[in-house]
Amino acid sequence: MLDNVDDRPVIWDRANRKHIEKDHPERGITVAEVEDAMTDSTREEVPDRKREGYWLVRGRTAAGRRLLVAWVEYRNGRYPVHAHVIGRRGK
């Protein structure tokens, strides 16, 4: 286990799946990519200094895309609420 990262399961429901994949189609981010980033063995995870109760994860997808994912605690797991690509053109 990495120091200072949360390994609890990623929690999905209709609302956060819709927000990640459908509400922001221009980002082209999938649920699977968010899962990848949130479980990446080299990810960085820190509390969000701007929003209490939120956490930020910087990780890579299986294809190597770098994502920033915001999540909150929810029912013994991590509930993704926002995601975007880090860097130029999503590389």
> What average pLDDT does the structure give for the chain?
91
Written as six digits, the tokens of 5 are 């990262």
Closest CA to 76 of 19, 31, 4, 11: 11
| In contact, 83 and 55? CB cutoff 8 Å | no
Query: What confidence tens digit (pLDDT) does each residue in 46-82 have?
Result: 999 999 999 999 999 999 999 999 999 998 899 999 9
State CA 41 to chain mean position distance: 13
Provide the pLDDT for residue 90.
47
Position 2 pLDDT exceeds 80: no
Please tell me the distance from the alpha carbon of residue 5 to that of residue 1, in angstroms, as a whole number: 8
Provide the pLDDT for residue 75.
82
Prediction pTM value:
0.88
